Structure 1
Amino acid sequence: MALPASRPLYLLALIACVILMGVALYLEHVVGLIPCPLCIIQRVLLVLVGLVCLVALIHHPRSAPPARRPAAARLYAGGVSFFAVLGAAVAGRQVWLQHQPADQLPSCLPSLDYMIDVLPLQDIMRMLFSGTADCAKVDWTFLGLSIAEGTLLAFIAFSLFGLIQLFRSTD
């Protein structure tokens, strides 16, 4: 069975990214859920997955000269895979934090503005990626999944999509 052309698949992946970001923004601005540091990192990685899909959709490696076609297709698939695996790692860290006892969680972080004013960048990044008690709080669920668990599933799906695109024959 032949796989469908890659362009419609990148379009579907882009639409999924837009829908997921729309849900995240709805939960923040309408429902009033404040994103934790790990949530913000996941959003950035989701946007990067979406941007790679958008570029792949616009450029469409099939329209490239034949010598460059496979390299461009692999670059887009690798980009989606890379950012999706990073997103899955961050979401996985948040899911892990959500399943830890409350007394074993790291303390809450100061505001990002304060950290930018007083801390070096490497300390800020380390603190953001480690997560805090804020990241372990489950404020909303859908079908029994926390936001982090749903996001983890989405990043796993994007990772699989990228890997399939990476190893398929060019169309």
Structure 2
Amino acid sequence: MSRTQYLFISLFSLSLVVFAVLLQQFGYQDTPFLPCPLCILQRIGCLGIAISCFLAAGIPALKKLFHLLAAMSACFGVIIAGKQVWLLSYPEASCGIDPLEVWINQFQLVQGLPWLFKADGLCSAKLPAILGLQVPEWSLFWFCVLLILFAVTFFKHTKTE
């Protein structure tokens, strides 16, 4: 992939996180979207993709390494978003109290940036759909698209800009 493509993917991943924070701050259809622990982990996956792609664009000598890290972040996101989509389909599997929330909220980063990393919601909460899909379904879709893109382009040889 070219530097421009890496930068585009980086900005796209950051925009997904910005959209999630806007939903958290302002809600949608008069419903607050409080992030659950799985939502926070998906944000970390998106940030992992964004940072890896930014570094791949900036350090051509290590482009393959950062490409692989971006693919691993996308794979992480697929697993986490897939679990949340499964919980939305089977809400009875959730006990309502997620011990992962306590674990995530104890980190110093959460204390410093609670608006970005603090988990307050339930993973099985059904919220209003956006363009026909729940937020975790959209997240799963974009993680899958990015993972496929990273997998397909990993072995392609391109000239650096």
TM range (shorter): 0.7 to 0.9
Q: Is the 8 Å Cα contact of residues 6 and 54 (structure 2) preserved in structure 1? A: yes
Query: What's the counterpart of residue 92 of structure 2?
Result: 103
**Cα offset, 1:58, TM superposition:** 1.7
Alpha carbons of structure 1 residues 39 and 135: separation in structure 2 relative to 1, 3 Å:
same
Partner of 1:140: 128
**Residues 73, 170 of structure 1: 8 Å contact kept:** no
C-alpha root-mean-square deviation of aligned residues, in Å?
A: 2.3
- Aligned counterparts of 2:37 and 2:105: Cα–Cα separation in 1: 12
Q: Which has the larger radius of gyration?
A: 1
Match of 2:113 in 1: none
- CA deviation map 1:102-138 (0-9, x unaligned): 4332332366279849xxxxxxxxxxxxxxx921112
CA distance in 2, matches of 1:113, 1:76: 28
Q: 1:18 to 1:96 in 2, by over 3 A?
A: same
Contact map agreement 1:98 1:136 (CA 8 A) in 2: yes
Superposition pairs of residues 1-171 of structure 1, within 5 angstroms: 5-31=1-27, 32-59=32-59, 61=60, 64=61, 72-100=62-90, 102-109=91-98, 112=102, 116=106, 134-171=122-159
Hey, what's the Cα distance between the residues in 1 that align with 2:86 and 2:106? 27
Q: Secondary structure at the residue paired with 1:34?
A: coil
Matched length? 141
SS of equivalent to 2:35: coil
Q: What stretches of structure 1 move > 3 A for 4+ residues in a row? A: 113-117
AA paired with 2:93? Q
Structure 1 residues 84 and 107: alpha-carbon distance in aligned structure 2, compared to 1, 3 A threshold: same
Would the alpha carbon gap of residues 78 and 115 (structure 1) be closer, same or farther in structure 2, given more than 3 Å must change?
A: closer
Instruction: Tell me, in whole angstroms, the C-alpha distance in 1 between the residues paired with 2:129 and 2:26.
Output: 16
Q: Measure, in 2, the Cα distance between the counterparts of 1:103 and 1:96.
A: 11
Contact 2:129 2:135 in 1 (8 A): yes
- Given the two structures, how large is their TM-score scaled by the length of structure 2? 0.78
- Unaligned runs of at least 5 residues, structure 1: 65-71, 118-132
